[in-house]
Amino acid sequence: MTKYPMTVQGARALEEELAHLTKVVRPKLSQDIGTARELGDLKENAEYHAAREQQGMVEARIRDIEGRLQNAVIIDVTTIAHTGKVIFGTTVEIANCETDESVTYQIVGEDEADIKLSKISVGSPIARALVGKEEGDVVTVKTPSGLVEYEIVEVRHL
């Protein structure tokens, strides 16, 4: 089985979602199905069919989360010595060498990536270019608009 890297925060978020689905959503759906069943004929009972469909989606999500957590390698970057090197889980400030524009990203697992929160997947082109490099290094990233050079300003273990 393939193992997938995940930050402590990413694992915690999945565990919280799993707990919510199993302790809150699943029981409510069972209750909704029971209530809809009492309404009579199941062949033409829209509430029943909607609740069963929702139950199927929730059960699929529960299995998905359980599988992801089972195959996760949880990496706590705060326990790793700071060397200035970009590794999985670090937060990296980079500056565009041409425009001097600065951006900060945390390198996370594929499931955790959210560009709105400045979290990029370890498999993204920027992350692949950054991993293994150190503060002060200049990296070239292939983007849809061409090659862009970034300088690694700071690497933080948050």
CATH, residue 109: 3.10.50.30
pLDDT per residue as tens digits for the range 102-120: 999 999 999 899 999 999 9
Tell me: do 83 and 26 sit in the same domain: no
pLDDT per residue as tens digits for the range 60-111: 999 999 999 999 999 999 999 999 999 999 999 999 999 999 999 999 999 8
Tell me: do 107 and 63 sit in the same domain: no
Tell me: do 81 and 122 sit in the same domain: yes
How far apart, in Å, are the Cα atoms of 90 and each of 35, 65, 141? 49, 24, 18
What's the total number of domains in the chain? 2
Query: Which residues share a beta bridge with 155?
Result: 92
> What percent of the chain has a predicted confidence (pLDDT) above 90?
78
Tell me: do 70 and 91 sit in the same domain: no
The side-by-side arrangement of strands in the sheet containing 138-143 is 119-121, 102-108, 91-96, 146-156, 138-143
Nearest to 101 by CA among 148, 51, 39: 148
Q: Which of 75, 104, 133 is the last residue of a domain?
A: 75
What pLDDT sits at residue 70?
Answer: 95
Tell me: do 24 and 69 sit in the same domain: yes
Q: Are 108 and 10 in contact (CB under 8 A)?
A: yes
Tell me: do 22 and 67 sit in the same domain: yes
CATH, residue 32: 1.10.287.180
Q: How far apart are CA 125 and CA 118, in angstroms?
A: 15
Tell me: do 88 and 150 sit in the same domain: yes
Supply the range of the domain harboring residue 92. 77-156
Tell me: do 54 and 29 sit in the same domain: yes
> What percent of the chain has a predicted confidence (pLDDT) above 70?
97
Q: Which of 75, 97, 116 is the last residue of a domain?
A: 75
- Which long-range CB contacts under 8 A does 104-108 form with residues at least 24 apart? 106/7, 106/158, 107/131, 108/6, 108/7, 108/10
Tell me: do 142 and 92 sit in the same domain: yes
Q: Which of 40, 75, 110 is the last residue of a domain?
A: 75
